[in-house]
Chains A and B, each alone.
Chain A
Amino acid sequence: MADKREITVTINGQAQTAEVETRTNLADFLRHELELTGTHVGCEHGVCGACTVLVDGAAVRSCLMLAVQADGHEVTSVEGLAAADGTLHPVQEAFWKNHGLQCGFCTPGMVISVAAFLKDNPNPTEADVRSAISGNICRCTGYQGIVAAALEAAETMRQEG
């Protein structure tokens, strides 16, 4: 039988304890064990960025991390980004306004990546944003709406302080 371990991970603010196979990656754990299907899997080899989540606040490709490695850590997935009352995160709001998504498949990873980037870079240029999301592939939008959204979200977040 496959090797299993019990892990406890804080996911979107809630501690979750589960038994997982040691070979299960974090993306599959979130999607299939916890049924948090907002995190998407586009390549399973660390290039597309669709699976990006925050682990202890840092953007991480959940297809490249084992679920057991998340034991004792805090994970934020796209489901945990909006406020508890449903108010969208400024990055989500800006994606909506600037047509930063079409099919929505890259979107969770994009939104998480942009949110993480803006936390450390509150006043980016367009080139900064393009470079920051160059590890996230979008086949639909041509990136322009995403870039516009990131710049607008940066502005909003600066104003909100």
Chain B
Amino acid sequence: MVRYTGAEVQRMEDPRLLTGHGRYVDDIHLPGMLHGAFLRSSHAHARIRSIDTSAALALPGVHAVFTQADLAVPDVAQSMNQLYPAPVIHQDITQHPMATDEVCYVGQTVALVAADSRAIAEDALVLIDVDYEPLPAVVDCRTALADDAPMAHIGSENNMAGQLKSAFGDIDGAFAKADHVFTGSFMQHRGGCHSMETRGVLARDEPYGEGLTIWSSTQCPYLVRRALATHLGEPEDRVRIIAPDVGGGFGPKAGFYPEEIVIPVAARQLGRPLKWIEDRREHFTATTGQRDQQWDLEVACDKDGKMLGLRGVVIHENGAYMPYGALLPFTSVTPLPGSYAIPALDVRLDIAFTNTTPTTPVRGAGRPYGIYAVERMVETIARELQIDPAEVRRRNFVRADQMPYETGAKLRDGMPVRYDSGDYHACQEKALELADYAGFKARQDAARTQGRYLGIGVSACIEDTGVGPYEGTTVKIEPSGKIMVRTGAASQGQGHHTMIAQIVSDQLGVQPEDIMFEAADTGKFPQGVGTIGSRVTANVGPSSFDAAGQVRETVLKLAAETLEAAEQDLELEDGEVRVAGAPDLKVTLGELALKLAPMSGGKIPAGFSPSLEATSYLGSSGSPVASGSNVAEVEVDIGTGEVRVLRYSVAHDCGNMINPMMVDGQIIGGVVHGIGNALFERMIYDEQGQPLTTNYGEYLLPLASEMPHIDIVHQETPSPLNPLGVKGAGEGGTIPAAPAIVAAIENALADFGVVIDYYPVDPQYLTELIDAAGAQAAE
């Protein structure tokens, strides 16, 4: 009787958002509210000798100016807590909510002005006089670990923030017996967050000592609660975090930021609500993102291109501080060796401090780097051995009959990396068929006769999704007969309300419209984790399914007593329980709810508990691993270096789909994000650590006019790790995009022997490569 799960249900969220009735942080106006603006470091590295705020304070309309010393926190010398401590971290340096005596990147918080309006607050910022003593800055991660590099932090002996390694199998033996060893050396650059809504924080200290209420555009309200309460030394229940509508997250909104301490503390000191909304320039320097990784790899293979071992070293640009532990570095190497069964691996990653904005995960986290790296080596083998790249993949894929498959690598918690299910061969064949891979040669030849250069590129990926430990749901039948569903999981546009409503309405025989939904408010649901790592469907899916299932059981048991019928004769449909064959014998869900919620003097039926509700924290028993194969077809203008993506085909497997329309939306949005990484998005710093790309004229995002139509075909290999058979889908579009695009560009330029060792592949870089490869000579 499944009616909604698996169907393309139109989203419950949309009518509100389409008519301008969303409620994002900046839409909330509180009585008496003041507005904040931050003074941020203009230096990549400097000592602060003094800060004079007197002129700013004297400006009419300014209520207060705060520096770190002015904050009423238990210990102003305390820096922010490490969110994810790990033994691989050598120098656990986090920033203070506002700088004390040193700034280590442009954009670091130095002071806050609170004023009657944002405009006045910004007027006051220029009146603050900071006496900086500039210090040498380290910017390029490739030289940051050299002996003569400037130190990113005063007092450090080197810039090594941490080091980690992923290794298994007999790596020396693999290389000793190899027919071929190929090397690859390349830099990868992934851009920033660029959610269309910037970050924002609004805080109010509730009267009568009821604690702080904070609205933040966060992906992880419970993490913010934990971190803020810890910093303030207060019980978590005195801090309520609400993530209202959030305009995109993509990872960088999953952290805990200085503003999330400073704004609440200042609001409390002012006795007035205080709002700060990040402007777009701030977003470029104050919101974390991803940037550079330098990879130097060697692959060992036999004469048929079957990979035997992979080894090498990675340098990771960490930025100035480590707010987010080593999660980004970890997720860069743990996906190795991707979709392939490679018996031996040895990859070390060095985490380098630089005087740039800290890095944390962006859509896919480190996985796009790791997958790109292994895909590059596959392409190298194909090129060197003159084997079709799709065939090299076929020869190396983990086979369906090997599932569940342990790669040999270990997760952060020391558990083995295990692929639960999937059929990578079949998935790739679907992608090749969708892309008409077989017909490409003819298209390429035809184009070449017109002087046009077409190329095709294939990629494959795995994605570990649904990381635990839980994301709970409460399902409650109200006396009105409506269903109230609450979860901690925050949405930044994924459509959680719709997904959960589909699952719950099937369980309870109601319409999705009957489901009321509240999420991401720590005052409404006791505990949660957050929306990261494609984890919500694989965690909230099972918990809502289970909670609704428990309620269903109670409903049927109670209805059986009420109707004096056997449970197996009952039908739950249209919001009521009926006795099969006796349509008049029925009771509504609302009536049943009332039976378990009597008022004074009433009685709860024996064997039942008050309130017709259940809470479940059921998740997935392990990480469901999604997979996919992509094929990109591009045209390269060899004169200008411009790359146009003509066609893009995706075969994706995220297990069973709750709402295929929303899955497609995740995949397409993810692919476009990945194409942006491959071709456009570049956060540039000069040698002094000054950011050069801080608006959307300088930093290019993918636009509709540049994007291809994306074709998708799904393969549904259920995950055995949860009762719905689902896997996450949020990042599987992004991860394989850059390797497919880059392979396609190389394929288009095969005549020139162009090998790409950097992305984003912008026109200038590409023309340089073409020129260097002797394009002239080839003409």
Spell out A's residues near B (CB within 8 Å): 1-2, 21, 23-24, 31-32, 35-45, 47-48, 50, 77-79, 81-82, 88, 92, 95-97, 99, 101-108, 111, 126, 129-131, 133-134, 136-147
Contacts and interface: CB of A to CB of B under 8 A. Distances in A.
26 contacts: A31-B27, A38-B20, A42-B196, A42-B280, A79-B19, A79-B21, A96-B10, A96-B11, A96-B14, A97-B10, A101-B17, A103-B196, A103-B246, A107-B17, A134-B704, A136-B704, A137-B701, A139-B194, A142-B671, A142-B673, A142-B707, A142-B710, A143-B672, A144-B707, A145-B668, A146-B704
Contacts of A24: 119
A126 B709 CA distance: 10
A99 B665 contact: yes
B20 A141 contact: no
Contact of A133 (B247, B704, B709): B704
A104 B249 CA distance: 12
A106 B19 contact: no
A103 B197 contact: yes
Contacts of A50: 196
B388 to A, nearest CB: 29
Contacts of A130: 704-705, 707
Given A42-B197, A139-B196, 19 more contacts: A31-B27, A37-B26, A38-B21, A41-B26, A42-B280, A43-B696, A45-B696, A45-B697, A79-B21, A97-B10, A99-B661, A103-B246, A104-B14, A108-B20, A129-B704, A131-B705, A134-B706, A139-B195, A142-B672
B248 interface: yes
Given A42-B280, A139-B195, A145 B665 contact: yes
Contacts of A96: 10-11, 14-15, 18
Contacts of B177: none
Contacts of A105: 22, 24, 195-197, 247-248, 493
B495 A134 contact: no
Contacts of B24: 37, 40, 105
Contacts of B695: 43, 45, 47
Contact of A44 (B14, B280, B495, B668): B280
Contact of B673 (A136, A139, A146): A139
B22 A38 contact: yes
A54 B248 CA distance: 25
Contacts of B668: 141-142, 144-145
Contacts of B246: 103
Given A40-B247, A104-B247, A126-B709, A88 B18 contact: yes
Nearest to B29: A35
Nearest to A47: B696
Interface in B688-705: 695-697, 701-705
Contacts of A106: 196, 247
Question: Secondary structure of the A side of the interface?
Answer: loop
B635 interface: no
B703 A134 contact: yes
User: Which 10 A-B pairs rank lowest in CB-CB distance, beginning with the nearest?
Assistant: A38-B20, A103-B493, A105-B247, A104-B17, A102-B493, A142-B672, A37-B27, A134-B705, A142-B668, A78-B20
A111 B11 CA distance: 17
A139 B587 CA distance: 47
A85 to B, nearest CB: 13
B18 A107 contact: yes
A147 B10 CA distance: 17
Interface of B: 10-11, 13-15, 17-24, 26-27, 29, 60, 119, 194-198, 245-248, 250, 279-280, 492-495, 661-662, 664-665, 668-673, 695-697, 701-707, 709-710, 733
Contacts of A37: 20, 22-24, 26-27
A92 to B, nearest CB: 4
Contacts of A102: 248, 493-495, 665, 669
A75 to B, nearest CB: 13
A143 B707 contact: yes
Contacts of A136: 704
A36 B669 contact: no
B247 A92 contact: no
B279 to A, nearest CB: 6
A41 B280 CA distance: 9
A78 B494 CA distance: 22
B218 to A, nearest CB: 14
A138 B196 contact: yes
A140 B493 contact: yes
A48 B20 CA distance: 17
Contact of A104 (B13, B279, B703): B13
A45 B194 CA distance: 14
Contacts of B20: 36-39, 77-79, 108
A101 B29 contact: no
A112 to B, nearest CB: 10
B612 to A, nearest CB: 32
B709 to A, nearest CB: 7
Contacts of A147: 704
Contacts of A23: 119
Nearest to B494: A102
Given A43-B280, A79-B20, A92-B18, A139 B696 contact: no
Nearest to A39: B20
Contacts of A43: 280, 695-696
Given A21-B119, A102-B493, A140 B669 contact: yes
Contacts of B733: 142
Contacts of B22: 37-38, 104-105
Contacts of A131: 704-705
B18 A48 contact: no
Given A103-B493, A139-B250, A144 B709 contact: yes
A45 B20 CA distance: 21
A27 to B, nearest CB: 11
Contact of A81 (B19, B495, B707): B19
A142 B363 CA distance: 14
Q: Which of B20, B22, B494, B709 has the most CB of A within 10 A?
A: B20
* Residue from B14, B29, B280, B673 with most neighbouring chain A CB atoms (10 Å): B14
Contacts of B11: 96, 99
Nearest to B247: A105
A131 to B, nearest CB: 5
Contacts of A139: 194-196, 248, 250, 669, 673, 701
A82 B19 contact: yes
A140 B693 CA distance: 21
A74 to B, nearest CB: 17
Contacts of A137: 196, 696, 701, 703
A146 B18 CA distance: 12
A141 to B, nearest CB: 5
A101 B280 CA distance: 21
Nearest to B661: A99
A27 B707 CA distance: 29
B498 to A, nearest CB: 10
Nearest to B694: A45
A24 B117 CA distance: 11
